[in-house]
Amino acid sequence: MRLFVGLGNPGAKYQGNRHNIGFMVLDEIARRHGFAPWRRRFQGETSEGTLEGERVVLLKPATYMNESGRSVGEAAQFFKIGLPDIVVFHDEIELPPAKVRVKIGGGIAGHNGLRSISAHVGNDYRRVRLGVGHPGVKDRVHAHVLGDFAKSERPWVEALCDIVADQAGLLAAAKDSTFANKVHLAMQAKGFGDKDNGEKG
């Protein structure tokens, strides 16, 4: 059994924020793979389904980003899910827009959602880092992640959500490197991304 967590802030005003790309990805996974309707529990919303024969629970914490760990901790405890089976999808300013990297554990790079999760369940969960780019100046990071994706960014955001949802079964099967590589190649085929290796980081 796997717990897929998408990070974001609840409510309509945050819906299109860069910080909410984790929510966007989970919505697409649920839609594409015919998961059960979302329901409120564990201080968030969950939807259940199957990917590659694995039971998967999708979780969107409704605690606001800084308290995401409360929701994740409750769900992980209820289902008795260990860190290797927790996959967190989150925005990553240290990656260029449309880039995806997968890693286990490591630093949190100032991401308050990851900080909260690590405080509640430990650090060695799997992370799908979804690049949203850096505004270039540290003082502008807050406004950048809490700002909506620009209209010009929508094509790659939609392509990325589609492709990650397409390949999500590989994450359920714990084939993280294959997932990263296939997402990279598929994004490249759609004209997004450059020639670097999708398996780095």
Instruction: Report whether pLDDT(201) > 70.
Output: no
Instruction: Report whether pLDDT(194) > 70.
Output: no
Q: Has 19 been annotated as catalytic?
A: yes
Interacting residues of 128 by C-beta distance below 8 A, sequence separation 6+: 25, 87, 88, 89, 90, 100, 101, 102, 164, 171
Is residue 58 within 8 A of residue 25, CB to CB? The reply is: no
Whole-number average pLDDT of the chain:
94
Nearest alpha-carbon partner for 153 in 132, 134, 182, 130:
132
Tens of pLDDT, residues 42-97 = 999 999 999 999 999 999 999 999 999 999 999 999 999 999 999 999 999 999 99
The domains of the chain are located at: 2-189
Burial of 141 (0-12, 13-18, 19+ CB in 10 A): middle
Instruction: Report whether pLDDT(199) > 70.
Output: no
From the list 19, 33, 90, 144, the catalytic residue is: 19
- Number of helical (H) and strand (E) elements in the chain, helices listed first: 6, 7
Can you give the pTM of this predicted structure?
0.95
The total number of residues shown for the chain amounts to 201
Instruction: Report whether pLDDT(198) > 90.
Output: no
CATH architecture of 2-189: 3-Layer(aba) Sandwich (3.40)
